[in-house]
Structure 1
């Protein structure tokens, strides 16, 4: 069966999506059949799955019971993608209708999450009414919730009654001294509490809730915001502790602290981590547990594949006139999901075979290399350099290929030769690829080709429509054969 196109918008329109996976989905390899069944089509819990499946968030939870120095929910921009941002606040009725509309029109959508714009468990009536309705009316959709954890222990029993197999808890610390620098206050037992006392209460509730969820057999992902100079040296300990208590996946995210967002950290000039700092911390934490590296820090009303937002197609005024036969939609979705699963299994087997073949070859005596990839999905190199709004970063080494991260950038050209401030946007794009030695895309123009070469980045359009991992390995071997990858020590790397 031919699979439908996941992203039906033209790439040049800004509807491009990106996905990623390593040479194998290591997150799934060691799991029981029961857990694998829960995550294999969940785009946030499996790198392979987010290559194919979409998610959506419904904004039914406006209130929050804590304040974070990195959060400001007052700002909204349709072009802004960060947690806490929404364009429309929904009632449970509206949320259910919108979910059905999205699922019927984007049949690859498998997951419905409530993640804000406040905290879902600080809005229990609205949150659980939405979950109750969807578990009855759309039983084929996975239900998820993301929470700061303060009200979690009291909600675990109710969560377990519904079709909710996945919960995300944002845990930024396990030390109240550090917590007091992140959270100015919490609202607890009808009063506002500040300082270390507030942080201590929050941490205790988060850990208690984590343990209760695991005891119920609910998969837990832990999100942590990396804040340089505040908790960056502490998050490896967080990772060790949450793993010991049964968390399945750890997602270390970079602080978003641009001043224009109006957050305390932004106004005070707190910087976010650079790409290398984030990668180093993720690598350090990965010694304790599985790491999620494909997070896009989505809006609280995001729709579509990770890395894209199709929410403007499903605003309240547009879904009002939609006629939805959800029973028929479920039958269509089932067929498509089965076809996707078959393709995923086939590609996973092929990647495993390729990885084993590469491992059996004589080891290259060469250093690792970072490569940027422009893709619109399906695990292929299938996007023009000028149309990319983000690049996937892979590391090739004698040990194989692994996905590292994604880097957002400006789409410097919409396919028109008169691109306005194309040069400025192009310079920003190239700066975003710092540390990469090659960029793989379907096509690249003369101007960016020259500027990439000047920046020490080798443009490569020779592997269009090829699987990403195979192309990355091929380019790595070509670089090694050309003598470009002699091992260098850190002093040489720093002076290069």
Structure 2
């Protein structure tokens, strides 16, 4: 069995930092900018330089790098039936929710504090909780302040697109080279079912007229960004019975206009969130329904399948949120940026990523060479580094990998309630985990107790911790070989 990578969650301890420094001195690449063999064949070198450390734009990077959202833009110019923005809220994990709103100066202080303590940080995003292009003065001031203090951080903006065309030139001037636009329709008839109203050009519009204006502005903004070489990610919320079939057409439109990624997300419609859809009984898609739609979109615009639908104040790796560690009351009045931890982390990660890419390539090659028509869906408990390194009882999500004749690919994730709390497992939680694993063939984790393992087995869910701390793809290839009677690939350290 392979040895575990240094925990990505413990990089700030003195002992671990000394280990990192020793590793860096032993010959790791000077920085992640030295080039990575992880570059996909269909991505040019210039684009790879922009995305290789961006956890949202690169599936491979999300194993190693973190994002941070600062909640400086509370005002919004549209109403969505799936949205209910909440402030002073630490209990909900979804877009539009924040614990505290920030001024640009407070945001700068918080970004420096996080950069000093979270060495994985590579991206600063503004994702509301309203709209960053509508609340533009605060957005611009925040980007300018942060860029002057931490010039190597990537700047990223999320927007509904209505006010986007008014600010594309300024975004380009500030070197904001990643913009996410939420586009749920290209047919205003469908848009009218999603958006009750918009506020544009000092007027409120409703119904079909509102949706038509929003559609035109979104397409214009996307085209303008593409023309300036700014990478775009399109977020679309899958709403069963409203736009689920229509998203095939959305995918075609955004691909034609140069979108780099299309991210189809499930509607979150729990009534406790107080959204219109939640209160009126509109259901969200089941995990298998979402995957079926995403599979239909293969061959269109490049798909993002590792999104976590982050809060507007999220901090950390995708799949984790350390925001409550960095509320304003926990941050000193004066903070100065210290780049040493981030620099050291990147030195070590550059080599680790190279090892991971080699192991992944070997594993995928074995699966492709097998010539089998078999398909295997594997759920994985991981906390980063591309390894199976999370205890079953501590997992709050499982990443889902698909092994087939075309290779091994991350195809989604399943959120779950943490099973183990204070040493005890909850029976109702285990039932929910079993339901969340619908369609999964095998579950991999670093460790699992006999009791939950037996109960999962009785429920028809196969689970093993035999591959703890292996690279995910290496373990999946071995499982694929065992499942379909092939020669297994040896584990890679």
Same fold (TM over 0.5): yes
Pairwise CA distance, 1:319: 1.0
Structure 1 residue 364 corresponds to structure 2 residue 376:
no
Q: Tell me what 1:157 maps to.
A: 169
Q: Tell me what 2:448 maps to.
A: 444
Kept after mapping to 1: 8 A contact 2:359/2:474: no
Pairwise CA distance, 1:340: 1.6
Structure 1 residue 342 corresponds to structure 2 residue 351:
yes
Structure 1 residue 351 corresponds to structure 2 residue 360:
yes
Structure-1 separation of matches of 2:422 and 2:324:
22
Structure 1 segment 321-470 matched on structure 2, within 5 A:
321=333, 323-324=335-336, 326=337, 329-361=338-370, 363-365=371-373, 367-414=374-421, 416=423, 418-419=424-425, 422-470=426-474
Most deviating of 74-83 and 231-240: 74-83
Q: Tell me what 1:8 maps to.
A: 10
Q: Tell me what 1:20 maps to.
A: none
Q: Tell me what 1:19 maps to.
A: none
How many residue pairs align between the two structures? Answer: 460
**What SS does structure 1 have at the residue aligned with 2:421?**
coil
Kept after mapping to 2: 8 A contact 1:3/1:339: no
Pairwise CA distance, 1:480: 2.5
Structure-2 separation of matches of 1:332 and 1:8:
12
Kept after mapping to 2: 8 A contact 1:25/1:48: no
Structure 1 segment 306-321 matched on structure 2, within 5 A:
306-321=318-333
Deviations, residues 363-390 of structure 1 (Å, cap 9, x unaligned): 235x312121111211111122111111
Q: 1:5 to 1:322 in 2, by over 3 A?
A: farther
Q: 1:464 to 1:332 in 2, by over 3 A?
A: closer
Pairwise CA distance, 1:5: 3.5
> Which of 85, 91, 103 is equivalent to 1:91?
103
> Which of 68, 71, 94 is equivalent to 2:80?
68
**What SS does structure 1 have at the residue aligned with 2:241?**
coil
Q: Tell me what 1:491 maps to.
A: none
Most deviating of 448-457 and 293-302: 448-457
Give ranges in structure 2 of 5+ residues lacking alignment: 13-35, 487-493
**What SS does structure 1 have at the residue aligned with 2:8?**
coil
Structure 1 residue 146 corresponds to structure 2 residue 166:
no
Pairwise CA distance, 1:114: 0.3
Deviations, residues 311-344 of structure 1 (Å, cap 9, x unaligned): 11111011134642x2xx2244234224323321
Most deviating of 208-217 and 348-357: 348-357
Q: Tell me what 1:487 maps to.
A: none
Give ranges in structure 1 of 5+ residues lacking alignment: 11-23, 483-496
Structure-2 separation of matches of 1:124 and 1:280:
38
Q: 1:78 to 1:191 in 2, by over 3 A?
A: same
Structure-1 separation of matches of 2:342 and 2:82:
38
Deviations, residues 137-157 of structure 1 (Å, cap 9, x unaligned): 211110010000000001101
Kept after mapping to 1: 8 A contact 2:288/2:438: no
Kept after mapping to 1: 8 A contact 2:399/2:412: yes
Structure-2 separation of matches of 1:215 and 1:97:
34
Pairwise CA distance, 1:392: 1.0
Q: Tell me what 1:16 maps to.
A: none
Kept after mapping to 2: 8 A contact 1:294/1:405: yes
Q: Tell me what 1:297 maps to.
A: 309
Kept after mapping to 1: 8 A contact 2:38/2:353: no
**What SS does structure 2 have at the residue aligned with 1:120?**
coil
Pairwise CA distance, 1:208: 0.3
Structure-2 separation of matches of 1:65 and 1:149:
10
Kept after mapping to 2: 8 A contact 1:386/1:415: no
Pairwise CA distance, 1:354: 2.9
> Which of 47, 58, 67 is equivalent to 1:55?
67
Kept after mapping to 2: 8 A contact 1:221/1:251: yes
Kept after mapping to 1: 8 A contact 2:356/2:471: no
Pairwise CA distance, 1:130: 0.6
Q: Tell me what 2:268 maps to.
A: 256
Kept after mapping to 2: 8 A contact 1:395/1:403: yes
Structure-1 separation of matches of 2:446 and 2:344:
31
Pairwise CA distance, 1:3: 7.9
Q: 1:480 to 1:354 in 2, by over 3 A?
A: closer
Give the TM-score of the pair, scaled to structure 2.
0.89
> Which of 210, 228, 233 is equivalent to 1:198?
210
